[in-house]
Chain A
Amino acid sequence: MIKSLHARQHQLAQQERQVEWLSNGIFKENKLPTFQHKLEQSGQFPLHSGAIEIFQINIGYMCNQVCKHCHVDAGPDRKEIMTRETTQQCLDVMEHAKIKTLDITGGAPEMNPDFRWLVSEAHKRGVKEIIVRSNLTIFSANPKFNDLPEFFRQHGVRVCSSLPFYNADKTDRQRGEGVFSDSIKGLQMLNAVGYGKEGSGLILDLVYNPTGAFLPGDQKALERDFKKELKNHFDIDFNQLFTITNIPISRFLDFLIESGNYEGYMEKLVNAFNPAAVAGVMCKNTISIDWQGNMYDCDFNQMLGLKVEKKAGQHIREFSLASLQNREVVISQHCFACTAGSGSSCQGATV
């Protein structure tokens, strides 16, 4: 298993160093236009958020996997975890502001000791949609997680899981040795309780992301391939496939730099800038909250330490729907990944 950038005390474990990378070099030398410039050209700067529909809570960076492209730099060594007190604050705010969707992410969010409490509370309080971003291998990582599919079913959780490819070769190269076979087991466990099965009302979506420095292909075409291959080889059913573009931050940024692909990848993202994809980016309707209760425009900005603009209130205890709606989104060059081609968001392509 590789180690996190934090464990290696790598320079890119520092958020400021990542932000520097994204602002200097090819962008500072004007070889490539900045994201702000491209937004200005298409009359979309400054970028403003809309109404908040999704609360995406990152309840901890601990994970049982260490994926090569992880934008969180998650891993078993990461100890940052949301306390019950902060989790409670999030729930109270959600209830008060009548937010429809709770999107729980990590790390492996199931590793937070208050994870089940959070899901149960949200369910009890009538949150319309609870999404858990589960890595699938967690179910078999420890016997105490074996019953998670059943727990998800009981609470009507929508499960959203990463699977970069429908074979072991590509999946394991990105996510670690043996991850594919454990992921298949995880998917079969979810299917066994009804997830992804027609008429069950239990939604299981998969997330595809490229296994290298290239863009995702057409979402519908890839979904068709995934459905066919997973059904034929493993008798697995799922609902939708979401394509997500790899964001040039954290471990993926490290890969790009180390493999000499950084400039080429950024150029590809910039050239693929699609003004029509901007309207559907996730910062438009999502607020991201970190384990300490700080608020960000998205999970990627969270990893870069770029909090929401100051006047909107930067901590959950300052939460105000009025101040956060129509806030100016904090941008940098990593945002090009969300607007390339068909666009990219936690709900897949945006156009």
Chain B
Amino acid sequence: MESTYYNPEDLKKFGNIGEWEKNLAEKFFSYYGDVFKEGDLTAREKSLIALAVAHTIQCPYCIDAYTQDSLEKGATEKGMMEAVHVAAAIRSGATLVHGVMMMNKAKKISM
């Protein structure tokens, strides 16, 4: 094992996952490619969604890749930060909305 869990060089080896299970890897990468093609959403909108999700799941590889990709797709730095705030809002909102569950439970068991 390396001395750190994450190595930037590993991002370039993503395709190597096919060495141990070719069929599923091929299906995944083909699906992945199709997902990011322009559809009702533009390629830039998809890249910004990916960037926001990357921050939510805190995947360093994805943050690296989609920061670069968003810039290539013509996103502004401000727009990219807005996407991260969307992720943060949903995350914090998800935490807070569970406060209702807490309140329900507390009210139920309290006199």
Contact = CB atoms under 8 A, between A and B. Distances in A.
A222 interface: yes
Interface string A167-178: 101100000000
A212 B72 CA distance: 9
B76 A217 contact: no
Contact of B68 (A214, A216, A222): A214
Given A210-B71, A212-B71, A214-B71, A221 B38 contact: yes
Contacts of B25: none
Interface in B67-88: 68, 71-74, 76-78
B49 interface: no
Interface residues of B, number: 12
Nearest to B77: A169
Interface string B30-60: 0000000010001110000000000000000
Nearest to B71: A214
Contact of B42 (A210, A212, A221): A221
Contacts of B73: 217-218, 221
A165 B73 CA distance: 12
A217 B68 contact: no
A176 B36 CA distance: 34
A216 B42 CA distance: 16
Nearest to A211: B71
Contact of A221 (B44, B68, B71, B78): B44
Contacts of A147: none
A170 to B, nearest CB: 7
Contacts of A212: 71
A222 B71 contact: no
Interface residues of A, number: 14
Contacts of A121: none
Interface in B58-110: 68, 71-74, 76-78
Contacts of B77: 169
Interface in A203-226: 210, 212, 214-218, 221-222, 225
A217 B42 contact: no
Interface string A155-189: 00000000001010110000000000000000000
B91 to A, nearest CB: 28
Contact of A222 (B38, B74, B76, B78): B74
Nearest to A220: B38
Contact of A210 (B43, B72, B76): B72
Given A221-B42, A221-B43, A216 B72 contact: yes
A165 B77 CA distance: 12
A217 B68 CA distance: 11
A40 B30 CA distance: 29
Nearest to A224: B42
Contacts of B72: 210, 214-217
Contacts of B44: 217, 221, 225
B43 A170 contact: no
Given A214-B72, A217-B73, A217-B74, 16 more contacts: A165-B76, A169-B76, A169-B77, A169-B78, A170-B76, A210-B71, A214-B68, A216-B72, A217-B43, A217-B44, A217-B72, A221-B38, A221-B42, A221-B73, A225-B44, A225-B74
27 contacts: A165-B74, A165-B76, A167-B76, A169-B76, A169-B77, A170-B76, A210-B71, A210-B72, A212-B71, A214-B68, A214-B71, A214-B72, A215-B72, A216-B72, A217-B43, A217-B44, A217-B72, A217-B73, A218-B43, A218-B73, A221-B38, A221-B42, A221-B43, A221-B44, A221-B73, A221-B74, A225-B44
Interface of A: 165, 167, 169-170, 210, 212, 214-218, 221-222, 225
Interface of B: 38, 42-44, 68, 71-74, 76-78
What 10 pairs across the A-B complex have the smallest Cβ distances? Answer: A217-B73, A217-B72, A214-B72, A214-B71, A222-B74, A217-B74, A214-B68, A225-B74, A215-B72, A221-B43
